[in-house]
Structure 1
Amino acid sequence: MSIDFTDSLERVPVRIVDTPAEGARWVARQVADLIRAKAAAGEKCVLGLATGSTPKLLYAELARLHREEGLSFQHVVAFNLDEYYPIEKDALQSYNRFMKTQLFNKVDIDPANCHIPDGEVPKDAIKEHCAAYERKIGDAGGIDLQILGIGQNGHIGFNEPGSSIHSRTRLVNLENSTRMANAYEFEGMSDVPRLALTMGLGTILKAKKIILMGWGSTKAPVVQKAVEERITEQVPASLLQTHDDVQFVVDNLAAAELTRFKSPWLTGDIEWTSKMIKKAVVNMALHLKKPILSLTNNDYNEYGLSDLLVERGDAYEINLQVFYAMRDSITGWPGGKPNAVIPA
């Protein structure tokens, strides 16, 4: 089930789903609908595809749609975002092998239409290889739909923080945080390549439509930055705010830092329940690094809680209400007092 809030501070459309599986099914339907529409018009469907753990469920669902519902990939042309460098094509961790295992070998796509940056190209031929990759995308008519994941540091593809919005397919250095996040694919971080080939941000932003997926609590902080804060090359995913047709699809855990959930009182009128009051006041105290009983009317106003003052009165009274609620939830029994009712 998706959640649609009109009251938010988000600068791009965000679809929130209960589970990654639900999100993957929704994205797969968007991909399938586009493939079928293009085929009906006698046109190729050009897809930009991501790798890593995020799109695995998507590829499994696309394979199911092919197997059980007859979704054909005969008119699909695929361009992958990235590849480690150097790495052999049949290496266990190569994205060439990943795409064959996860999708290409499970559908009827023409191998000649599967394009992946070459991790075996000689270093002195990399610039020409990257330029040729860009030309192939252009010759195919450009990417109709680009699928993305998002790194914990905001990278998309292997475009690390600081990458130019105008960048094209190229060889890049990988940040240690990225190598650490991907170490599970190797025997350890020391075995993760320090370099990679990646489509550039400029290449990605030329796609006609973009869908970015993000699952899990580790992605929550960067999802919030990418969709709510100002555009900056230090958070590459935030540059997607400049695109005319982009959709974020995240699960509840990845959406947890969005203002509509973390601080809903900043997005519009809300019902001030005891639980919501406690959440707002505790968050304010933590943010201001002040004891709850020291919070003032001015603190409430500056933190965006003036509506709470209007509805519930002076800061002193609200502070006491929250303080007593927290005090009454504390027990001296290590495992909790038997039959005790803990206040919300």
Structure 2
Amino acid sequence: MYTFNKIRFTFSTILLALILIVSGCGGNNTEKSNQDKAQNNDVTIDSKMGKVTIPGDTEQIIAPYHEDTLLALGITPVVKWAIGKSIQDYLEQDLKDIPKIEWNLPVEQVLQHNPDLIILEHGIDSYEGSYEDYQKIAPTYVMKEETTNSWRKQLEVFGKMLNKEDKAKEVLSQYNEKVKDAKEQLSNSIGSETAAVIWTKGNQFFLFEENRHSAEILYSELGVTPPELVKGLGDSQTKWNPISLEKLSELKADHVFLLATEGEQGIETLKNSSVWQSTPAAKNGNVYILNDPSNWTNTGLIASEKTIEDVLEHLAE
């Protein structure tokens, strides 16, 4: 009996050991499989600085000023762009709990957030650190100029590098439908009536050119007619040039979107100006004050959608 029990005990011990070995191997295989899967999702993509490989398991992303595109793809960045207290207010619904990082990307601030990926604009000289500095922290993708300047191109490129190509196509298709519907509504409501966009900061006024930020959505995509004064401005330049109140008297726009945070001095100046009050839009009560101008002064899919909503709210029937 003793011998039998001893044999049975020895057999059970050997069997248990085999199960543990097989389980261990299975665990190792699973771990290796996950690693292989992540590597298979790695993306090598061309950038301004040459080929860059983006790891398939990238999660912690810094893309200052281009958080719009990340959010459109369903990705929350690890930090958000800021100039002091100024942020992209129109994105705060999604980013209110995300810490800020200064626009020029100080290296020590980048290090604090331990990113897996850093995405920079083509003008890398505007950043505090060098490309090599950021590359030491995480894979760094520098956009080509055409990508920096086109949110549609950004959506395509970001979608490719982050394995979100299908999502990029989906949200762009939805956006195009939104533009189509909005354009039809505006055609029925205002026809060929003209509209202009003015941003007042302090006591200065900036008239948007046809391709300045979200004004391009208003004119090029929604088909709203620009007034002659806007047509005469030409293409937008990097530097903003304020326009005088006397020059604004020449603005024969049927509608004006006035971008001004609450309490801005420029609102009071226009209210008390007989020159301004004699313009068609002011005389007919067609000046629309927008207290959150941030989506109008940015570009991106979300900014564009919010701009369309602003336009429809005031101009559609």
Scaled to the shorter chain, the TM-score interval is: under 0.3
TM-score (norm 2): 0.24
Greater relative contact order, per chain length (Cα 8 Å cut-off, separation 6+): 1
